[in-house]
Amino acid sequence: MTNSPSQKTQEKLLEVKGLKTYFKTDAGIVKAVDGISFTLERGETLGIVGESGSGKSVTNLSIMRLIPSPPGRIVAGEVLFEGKDILKLSESALRHIRGNEISMIFQDPMTSLNPFLKISTQMIETIRLHQDISRKDALEKSIEMLKLVGIPAAEERVHNYPHQFSGGMRQRVMIAMALSCEAKVLIADEPTTALDVTIQAQILELIKDLAVKLNTAVILITHDLGVVAGMCDTVCVMYAGKVVEKAKTDELYKNPAHPYTFGLIQSVPRLDKAQDGKLFSIEGQPPNVIDLPDCCPFHPRCHKVMDICRTQYPPTKDIGGGHEVSCWLFADQKEHSDE
Amino acid sequence: MSNTQKKPLLEVQDLKQHFPIESGFLFKRQIGAVRAVDGISFNVNEGETLGIVGESGCGKSTTVRSISQLHKPTSGSVIFDGVDLVNAPTQQMLDARKNIQMIFQDPYASLDPRMTVRTIIAEPLEIYKKRGMLDASFTKRAIEDRVEELMERVGLNKAFKNRYPHEFSGGQRQRIGIARALALNPKIILADEPVSALDVSIQSQILNLLHDLQKELGLTYVFIAHDLAVIEYISTRVAVMYLGKIMELSRSSDLYKNPLHPYTKALLSAAPIPDPEVERKRKRIILTGDVPSPNKERFGCYFYDRCPYRMEKCKSNIPPMKRVDENHEVACWLYE
């Protein structure tokens, strides 16, 4: 689990450092992503969990530089992909990375395919955009990819229109397209949220298999803690545009440090453990991220709130084994145990 | 917990809800039917929560809509408190329906954006008042008081009663929807995925609220969700639906421990559990394929196409509901 530093620098595929994406609105500046950092290693699966509005999707759109500007703007930070800063690349260099090196699956399979074009047309277009091959070879490749993601009778199905596929099948087509250029990083933004549980299980299994087969690193964005538990090696928990906790999956579920993570894990009913009485619940509403003051954004809902939380944002502390948390509870503890 | 001798509050018998598929422009003719609910029967006892789970398109929502007579059922009967809602005269049906209220899934779509919170919550009262089916004691003042009382009961500040829905967050809107459902003091609440559109932290707040309300007001719930963990938590008994049929009906604590139907097993194994250690050890039953179209009339088991244990018999015989013990019924030829 712990790599020596020299090894680690070699394996680093994607590194996000202090990324800040702000949106200018009439009501004020929305700090959708406010200084987050994480690294993704080759072949690793990283989960980003958080509730709606916590900045999960904006983080990943920023990585691909797909933030509509204006109103959005990447204010600060670096996104290093194999050492190159994506944020500084020219548009044409960027096009080479998008789809080729980093590709993306979106949440809604119903709207991410063009309903007017055959699957074959859409897949050939994607492949030929990135690889210099003939239409015939591209078609062959499409069929091969569709087979890989488990679409029966791929030779015939490739000529169908999107409406002839069910939701789960369309998501498979999206995955096939995303992987057709052998991208090194796959960003899956809530890939199964719109799907039923049995189909969700199929798709997750598929992503897991393909990630191993093609040695793809995956960033999985989700709000479902169950999905993260089954899929990810490392997890980042986001709240109001900040990463509040980051740890190996096992460690996070066993010892959630941040009160928000703790609350999140406690507040979902569990299938394997019958509960009576009340669920743990995080009181209050998610924060409004417009003009957020420089305090811990979680303090109005925190059950362990202290005075300092209301005035200052806590520093990020490593509490052992790469388990990082931004909470004053631990900032203090660390100082005491440091003697 | 065995309430078999008690009379159920709601009895659904062989309920069918088919929607016609028509073709033609001026002279429409029926060329088929979507069999959304295809013959289901169950009872709901007073004070309990019946959970209904299933994938999208399995007929969960249609079931509760047919119960509340938002659709006129194709056949079958819905007996509430001794009144058969399907065949009763309108006046009698409306009177009985006062006791049946619904909470909807989407808190954004289920509240009229042009109405204030006060108007939304008071609307059921106003409607029944206009029909002359409300106590004479419900004056304008009394309605106003009732709205405030309801808002406080569901955890909303009553000072907000003149605000519009867009000023509230998803969780708060769902509270407005709950207050509206409670306005007429119903006996049974049909909750159609009330928490699936909400964030995790808000979801537990609403589940706790529903739990408290049930205890205090002695409510009966029919609760729909596609999240098995939520269903297991809130329900007394659970019905698992597939393609418009009930596959298994059991006490909720038994369902996870001892699922019988192959579909229930697959569904349970597909539901992720938020614990990486448990997840790693679990064996998944991955169902192949998708839910087939409900437009076709079926003569065998409805789950036949995707069942890992299918037998020759299943192809041409519809398995009846079989009682395996007092509180556990299953429709599968494996348990004959």
Q: Which residues on chain B are in Cβ contact (under 8 Å) with A223?
A: 199-200
Say which residue the tokens 């440091």 belong to.
A338
pLDDT bracket for residue A332 (50, 70, 90): low
Q: Model-level pTM greater than 0.95? A: no
Q: Is the pLDDT of residue A335 over 70?
A: no
**A32 min Cα distance to partner chain B (Å):** 17
Burial class (CB in 10 A: 0-12, 13-18, 19+), A185: buried
* Total residue length of chain B: 336
Q: Which residues on chain A are in Cβ contact (under 8 Å) with B279?
A: 226, 229-230
Neighbouring CB atoms inside 10 A of B153's CB total 17
| Residue pair A226/B273 in contact by the 8 Å Cβ criterion | yes
* Mean predicted lDDT score pLDDT of chain A: 84
Beta-carbon contacts of A68 under 8 Å, excluding residues fewer than 6 positions away, are: none
- Prior bond of B113 cis (ω within 30°): no
Q: Is the pLDDT of residue A336 over 50?
A: no
| Residue pair A261/A251 in contact by the 8 Å Cβ criterion | no
A226 contact B CB<8A: yes
Query: Which alpha helices (H) appear in chain A, and where do they start and end?
Result: 5-11, 56-63, 91-97, 119-130, 135-148, 154-157, 167-179, 197-214, 225-231, 249-254, 259-267, 328-337
What is residue A3's predicted lDDT score, i.e. its pLDDT?
43
User: Which of B204, B278, B284 lies nearest to residue A272, judging by beta carbons?
Assistant: B278
Residue A161 identity: Y
What is residue B6's predicted lDDT score, i.e. its pLDDT?
67
**B317 min Cα distance to partner chain A (Å):** 25
**B277 min Cα distance to partner chain A (Å):** 7
Summarize pLDDT for A139-193 with one digit per residue, the tens: 999 998 888 887 888 888 899 998 888 777 888 888 888 888 778 899 998 888 7
Neighbouring CB atoms inside 10 A of B112's CB total 12
Q: What is the largest CA-CA distance in chain B?
A: 67
Tell me if residue B27 falls in helix, strand or coil.
Answer: coil
CA atoms within 13 A of residue B127's CA, in its CB half-sphere? 13
A1 contact B CB<8A: no
User: Which of B199, B229, B272 lies nearest to residue A227, judging by beta carbons?
Assistant: B272
What is residue A5's predicted lDDT score, i.e. its pLDDT?
43
pLDDT bracket for residue A207 (50, 70, 90): confident
User: Which of A263, A272, A278 lies nearest to residue B273, judging by beta carbons?
Assistant: A272
Contacts by B140-146, CB closer than 8 A, 24 or more apart: B144/B118, B146/B122, B146/B183
Strand order in the sheet with A72-81: A28-41, A12-25, A72-81, A84-85
**A84 min Cα distance to partner chain B (Å):** 34
What pLDDT tens digit does each residue of chain B (336 aa) get? 444 456 789 999 999 999 988 888 778 888 888 899 999 999 999 999 999 998 888 888 899 999 999 999 999 999 998 899 999 999 999 999 999 999 998 888 899 999 999 999 999 999 999 888 888 788 889 999 999 999 999 999 888 989 999 988 888 999 999 999 999 999 999 999 998 888 888 899 999 999 999 999 999 999 998 888 899 899 999 999 999 999 999 998 888 889 999 999 999 988 888 888 888 888 888 887 777 888 888 899 999 988 989 899 999 999 999 999 888 999 999 987
The per-residue b/e assignment along B301-324, b for 16 or more CB within 10 angstroms, e otherwise, is bbbbbbbeebeeebeeebbebeee
Summarize pLDDT for A5-60 with one digit per residue, the tens: 444 444 788 999 999 998 888 888 888 888 899 999 988 999 999 888 888 888 98
**B252 min Cα distance to partner chain A (Å):** 9
What is residue A7's predicted lDDT score, i.e. its pLDDT?
43
What residue of B is the nearest CA neighbor of A169?
B290
A35 contact B CB<8A: no
Residue B305 identity: D
What is residue A106's predicted lDDT score, i.e. its pLDDT?
83
A167-179 vs A135-148: helix axis angle to the nearest 10? 130
**Closest by CA position to A170, among listed A260, A247, A109:** A109
What is residue B215's predicted lDDT score, i.e. its pLDDT?
92
The verdict on a CB contact (< 8 Å) between A225 and B287 is no
Average pLDDT over residues A86-101: 86
User: Which of A204, A227, A286 lies nearest to residue B199, judging by beta carbons?
Assistant: A286
Q: Is the pLDDT of residue A1 over 50?
A: no
Q: How far apart are CA A260 and CA A239, in angstroms?
A: 8
What residue of A is the nearest CA neighbor of B55?
A196
The verdict on a CB contact (< 8 Å) between B275 and A202 is no
Structure tokens that stand for A2 in this block: 């712990």
| Residue pair A122/A115 in contact by the 8 Å Cβ criterion | no
Q: Interface pTM (ipTM) of the complex?
A: 0.78
What is residue B247's predicted lDDT score, i.e. its pLDDT?
94
Q: How far apart are CA A330 and CA B75, in angstroms?
A: 63
Q: How far apart are CA A51 and CA A55, in angstroms?
A: 9
Average pLDDT over residues A296-321: 87
What is residue A2's predicted lDDT score, i.e. its pLDDT?
43
Beta-carbon contacts of A263 under 8 Å, excluding residues fewer than 6 positions away, are: A280, A281, A282, A303, B201
A136 contact B CB<8A: no
Q: In terms of DSSP bridges, do strands A234-239 and A242-248 run parallel, antiparallel, or are they unpaired?
A: antiparallel
